[in-house]
Structure 1
């Protein structure tokens, strides 16, 4: 059971609404109950003309006889205050409202200490068809009574006779004291605070999640709700309750006149083309949430991408084609909860993550070296003479943006469809080598030909597509074998599309899988615009998932390096929105943190980039890489010229954090620490020679206090002096240590020794 209350963990209260006080039932009574202005159909099932509706030039009559067939009707309340039913057990207090089929009254159960209950009877007691519908509603309420705590429950069923009138049956339901969403909507539109605070998108998303949970319980019983709208939902306490089950029916029931409200109903149901079904329920929820969202006073700018994610969810829910909507209430609820987590995390800055049920977490960090200790090649590309030159400057830090092919191979992988014929094999551990994966699944597909068309697997072909993309990512761009693997990946993807088209149950909900892999293929080919188009479609289908936002963030980041100034500015803004949304909700997602850090580095925001990486939690597999990257960012030159240098505080922070990094398996010394120490010594020398002196600093230019660690010698003796010559001697020693590392060839060894000799301070011997 989910823990509730103010002391419950924030995660368990995610879906809770602001608690509303229980209203006095008497305050909800209508002083002058008015029948529906549009009237009701005649009780004669052969007539069904409107009765009680106003006509031009005539007074509206709520009682009388049908002008077409003469059948008697009455739309007025049948129970007056003070009336008693069931042997004086129930005492009527008055009218609360009228639904599509009948009046709703407030009554008291005298046997249970006058507990308030709700009575529902026919709107027109002379309508025999309405009585049948009432009996059906009673049976459905009994069936659904224990299905969900957000569905109104039934207590009793009571007949009542009046002199000269037909017997009317009344459903006795729990009294749901609270505020109808229609009232919430109207108060929000009037600029009031219907929940004790302004209505926000977070509230609307919580309403949606709770409504969808109740609808899924109805769908699990083989029924559909049909008439979802703000009038039929009550906000009680921190939860919602669905009332008025008069429209609940079987989705295949073509004999019954459906109970719908055209504004909320789907186009196909509103036009009478088909009876209400699950797709119609999804549409009505989308319209209900859209109407509530329109009453939100203001969308906070700190929701960032969350506003767009919410709009995309509503767009899919209310799509004109039924097959384009969510396949079930549970599917929509899952995506809506993901959007809610995004909204809350962006507003509060707190983590609201939950493992995706659609994408498997990727172990790959989308980074091309920023989070790794630089290898010897970092220095092998520089001329040894550069270290002797008076104009010596350190290299500009590479931001580590991965190639599109690396991203294509490293993005999260969708979980396989459990309906796929190869699901058992897909769930078994597979080989790590993509070439072995190709061999394995080629054997499977060869055997599949003997199984017949019904056993063809979409997921096996998608698995082969991804394996070929991984192989292509390991091959040099100009190698002919790379084009071959890209062609094979496309061939398998096209096969998957054909199998999906031929499948008997062809749901558009599966189309996003094809779009996702088309996006990966386009990325691997460097076609970023096409990739962005495909990933945008996935985002539209799955607005609560982080994977398509991560992919789109990379595409936008690449856009920021091309085109005109306006396109670059838009690309940077878009990439920051996308990366920020993923990182705030899921800080463990190191790829988003590195992407966001690259955006800040491009703007010269050194401190912010390092801060983002410093917030990657220790439980993330990318924690150590993020800490290494933060140290390198704080110390390195980010651009040519003095403005690209770190300030004293940033450099001191890098030097202070260096000894705490988990390098070489947490050994005190090793090759990784040797290489990173060499890089920081080079950064320190560059800073000492080029950084502008503070105007208030007197005497020789001082190094940051933690720099003493980098000036220490391995051999016994005093550390190198804290001046340029001392820094040169320390860096010279680092080059000699690099030359001794494993894997260094003769030519590389000679180059590093030349660098060591070049950077050493010159000593002049003067003879007398």
Structure 2
């Protein structure tokens, strides 16, 4: 199959938006209660203090021009204070507070915790509030006016933010610089005792191997919580700008975003942008657009990639991801890989545009990952698609009565178009209520009703396009789709119905490419995978189709048609047992359970050369059929299918090692002929068509045991 392109949203195609149902993400606990994330013990603050607070030379840069400063030369160590040789700006990397200093007459300093992009971070006790632990964040350089402005901006933003996943600001105070006496600002924040995600991945690689990555489900659990925090910021018109593993702390079973030094208002085009190489969007985008919601979400995707697999994310892949051949985790979890490709797409319009939409798709990917890891389904209703649809109560290829082999027949273009899940009607559309009641109607009747609509809304035109496709008038769907696209430019559903049009017309290659793009755009949804799998099977790539179907079926057993399609591919690969095992996983409460068991009987006795079957294949098919207890024509036709195969097996020179019975008679030529004669005569008695009745009687006579009389 073609590799995931990650491209769907271009200037002439759908935007990166998943739907208009954006809103705020309301997800709960870490991992949504689905992931067992190892808790990180709360760290005693006293043990977190740095014994020798020093900024490493490799991290010393001028706060004004970004040039390297404070570097060693020969045997002479680098200076921690001085002036930039490039622009003359004063720099200082020495802590301004020492143990025992009392800031604002309230906060007693215990020492340095770390140094960040904008200043030293100190641990202190708040003597005015029960000696609680707090964190003071100062400036790298008290003489750096730009840094002062940024710190003041951080203070105002933090004062607006109240979210359980974002560090809480407590106060903002000043303390004289010990060298100059000039007051220096310090932000007072809650102490978050735990470890950063960077600490966790570094420890893992030291403990296991340098290429180790955190479990994908755990990485997704972190990302979902981070998206809740970013959603909160975005709703307030704020951008985080510098999301990375260093800035996320896990304490016990909770994560918090820290270091809001890069936060700015979305409309701010003046404040300097603080980002980190390897995580930020391409520089050209920052120059052209500045920070956006899309660029914020990009940093989350980059962080996820860094946490889950080892690659050179600053040198070889500063804005790309390694190929799955170099990153096994991407090969193991295709939907996760496609999700990251969309999130970190080089074109801003092709990415996610809201944390809510991104969370919805990521939650679908998480359920897939958990299902693949455990082998147990993790289903949930889609917010974008309705359920799988069945005609006359039958799954794709399933027929009531008739030839049992039709149960595993390939999907017809009409059948696939009708049974794939349909996109949901946008509830914001003025005609949504009316269309919801019409959706279940016959396509032919629906076309007439929708064409007569006096003031068609976008959703009306979209439903008309679908009705035309299903009624066999697929070429005519282009008009309503063009009208919908003109009124709702960039909506992914235009591409969905374009793909469905190609399916109905039998253009499997074009439909495959469109479904592939939709899968890249909606990696957490089952529907694009089902459409793509059907097209891959038709275009000669059954292995890729089987992988997609297996992913969907392992995740959600409500897509019962998937079991029939997957069993058909397994059967085509010569894996009769695998086909039967798939069909055995159809839930007993499903309306298609009997159809699945019937198909399993067919699978067990299907072979190009019946002589290659084993005795166990025949006897197990017989026992399964007896357990089903099917009566009437359906049961007799299936019985004849099993007995005919067994007779061919016997005529090929096979015989059981000891006497065995199959469906009430001996498994030998004479017993099988007696059984077949009875079965065909029973079918003849119930046949209503005279010609069919004569054919069945002739068949019974041809199969009766040979006698001299």
The equivalent position to 2:110 in structure 1, one of 93, 102, 107, is 93
CA shift in 2, pair 1:622/1:268, >3 Å:
farther
Question: Paired residue for 1:169?
Answer: 185
Question: Paired residue for 1:279?
Answer: 294
Task: Give the Cα–Cα distance (whole angstroms) in 1 for the partners of residues 536 and 610 of structure 2.
Answer: 28
Q: Kindly indicate whether the alpha-carbon contact (under 8 Å) linking 2:618 and 2:642 is maintained by their aligned counterparts in 1.
A: no
* 1:338-737 equivalences in 2 (<5 Å): 338-364=364-390, 371-372=398-399, 374-375=401-402, 399-444=408-453, 446-448=454-456, 456-457=457-458, 459-472=459-472, 485-501=473-489, 508=490, 510=491, 512-560=492-540, 571-634=541-604, 636-643=605-612, 645=613, 647-661=614-628, 669-690=631-652, 692-694=654-656, 697=657, 701-704=659-662, 707-708=663-664, 711=665, 724-737=669-682
Cα root mean square deviation, aligned: 3.5
Q: What are the superposed Cα offsets for residues 48-106 of structure 1, whole Å, 9 maximum, x if unpaired?
A: 5569824896975444567899886644221101222343x432121112223322111
Q: Does 1:212 align with 2:227?
A: yes
Q: Kindly indicate whether the alpha-carbon contact (under 8 Å) linking 1:409 and 1:466 is maintained by their aligned counterparts in 2.
A: no
Q: What are the superposed Cα offsets for residues 681-714 of structure 1, whole Å, 9 maximum, x if unpaired?
A: 44454445446235xx35xx4325xx32xx5xxx
Q: Kindly indicate whether the alpha-carbon contact (under 8 Å) linking 1:118 and 1:173 is maintained by their aligned counterparts in 2.
A: yes
**Structure 1 residue matching 2:122: 3-state secondary structure:** strand
Choose 14-23 or 324-333, whichever is displaced more.
Answer: 14-23
**Structure 2 residue matching 1:23: 3-state secondary structure:** coil
Question: Paired residue for 1:476?
Answer: none
Task: Give the Cα–Cα distance (whole angstroms) in 1 for the partners of residues 41 and 109 of structure 2.
Answer: 24
Task: Give the Cα–Cα distance (whole angstroms) in 1 for the partners of residues 298 and 401 of structure 2.
Answer: 54
Q: Kindly indicate whether the alpha-carbon contact (under 8 Å) linking 1:251 and 1:277 is maintained by their aligned counterparts in 2.
A: yes
Question: Paired residue for 2:49?
Answer: 29
CA shift in 2, pair 1:132/1:418, >3 Å:
farther
TM-score (normalised: structure 2): 0.84
Q: CA deviation at 1:722?
A: 6.8
Task: Give the Cα–Cα distance (whole angstroms) in 1 for the partners of residues 228 and 382 of structure 2.
Answer: 18
Q: Which structure's CA Rg is the greater one?
A: 1
**Structure 2 residue matching 1:30: 3-state secondary structure:** coil
Question: Paired residue for 2:273?
Answer: 258
CA shift in 2, pair 1:463/1:303, >3 Å:
farther
Question: Paired residue for 1:84?
Answer: 102
Task: Give the Cα–Cα distance (whole angstroms) in 1 for the partners of residues 126 and 632 of structure 2.
Answer: 81
CA shift in 2, pair 1:327/1:624, >3 Å:
farther
Q: CA deviation at 1:4?
A: 7.4
TM-score (normalised: structure 1): 0.78
**Structure 1 residue matching 2:134: 3-state secondary structure:** strand
Question: Paired residue for 2:9?
Answer: none
Task: Give the Cα–Cα distance (whole angstroms) in 2 for the partners of residues 398 and 2 of structure 1.
Answer: 41
Q: Kindly indicate whether the alpha-carbon contact (under 8 Å) linking 2:584 and 2:597 is maintained by their aligned counterparts in 1.
A: yes
Q: Kindly indicate whether the alpha-carbon contact (under 8 Å) linking 2:62 and 2:89 is maintained by their aligned counterparts in 1.
A: no
CA shift in 2, pair 1:320/1:670, >3 Å:
same
Task: Give the Cα–Cα distance (whole angstroms) in 2 for the partners of residues 737 and 603 of structure 1.
Answer: 35
Choose 330-339 or 419-428, whichever is displaced more.
Answer: 419-428
Q: What are the superposed Cα offsets for residues 293-349 of structure 1, whole Å, 9 maximum, x if unpaired?
A: 332899999979653222221111112221111121121222222222222211221
Q: CA deviation at 1:226?
A: 1.1
Q: Kindly indicate whether the alpha-carbon contact (under 8 Å) linking 1:29 and 1:106 is maintained by their aligned counterparts in 2.
A: yes
Q: What are the superposed Cα offsets for residues 599-630 of structure 1, whole Å, 9 maximum, x if unpaired?
A: 21112211111011101223444333212211
Task: Give the Cα–Cα distance (whole angstroms) in 2 for the partners of residues 541 and 23 of structure 1.
Answer: 41
**Structure 2 residue matching 1:273: 3-state secondary structure:** helix
**Structure 2 residue matching 1:360: 3-state secondary structure:** coil
State the structure with bigger RCO (CA 8 A, min sep 6), 1 or 2. 2
Task: Give the Cα–Cα distance (whole angstroms) in 2 for the partners of residues 676 and 362 of structure 1.
Answer: 27
Q: Kindly indicate whether the alpha-carbon contact (under 8 Å) linking 2:39 and 2:252 is maintained by their aligned counterparts in 1.
A: yes
Q: Kindly indicate whether the alpha-carbon contact (under 8 Å) linking 2:371 and 2:555 is maintained by their aligned counterparts in 1.
A: yes
Q: CA deviation at 1:536?
A: 0.8
Q: Kindly indicate whether the alpha-carbon contact (under 8 Å) linking 1:64 and 1:72 is maintained by their aligned counterparts in 2.
A: yes
Task: Give the Cα–Cα distance (whole angstroms) in 1 for the partners of residues 525 and 239 of structure 2.
Answer: 27
Choose 420-429 or 533-542, whichever is displaced more.
Answer: 420-429
**Structure 2 residue matching 1:408: 3-state secondary structure:** helix
Q: Kindly indicate whether the alpha-carbon contact (under 8 Å) linking 1:252 and 1:275 is maintained by their aligned counterparts in 2.
A: no
Task: Give the Cα–Cα distance (whole angstroms) in 2 for the partners of residues 552 and 367 of structure 1.
Answer: 21
Task: Give the Cα–Cα distance (whole angstroms) in 2 for the partners of residues 489 and 587 of structure 1.
Answer: 32
**Structure 2 residue matching 1:263: 3-state secondary structure:** coil
Q: CA deviation at 1:168?
A: 2.7
**Structure 2 residue matching 1:77: 3-state secondary structure:** coil
**Structure 2 residue matching 1:693: 3-state secondary structure:** coil
Q: Kindly indicate whether the alpha-carbon contact (under 8 Å) linking 1:367 and 1:400 is maintained by their aligned counterparts in 2.
A: no
Structure 1 unaligned regions, length at least 5: 6-10, 43-47, 379-395, 449-455, 473-484, 502-507, 561-570, 664-668, 712-720
Task: Give the Cα–Cα distance (whole angstroms) in 2 for the partners of residues 331 and 657 of structure 1.
Answer: 46
The equivalent position to 1:324 in structure 2, one of 350, 358, 364, is 350
Task: Give the Cα–Cα distance (whole angstroms) in 2 for the partners of residues 649 and 71 of structure 1.
Answer: 85
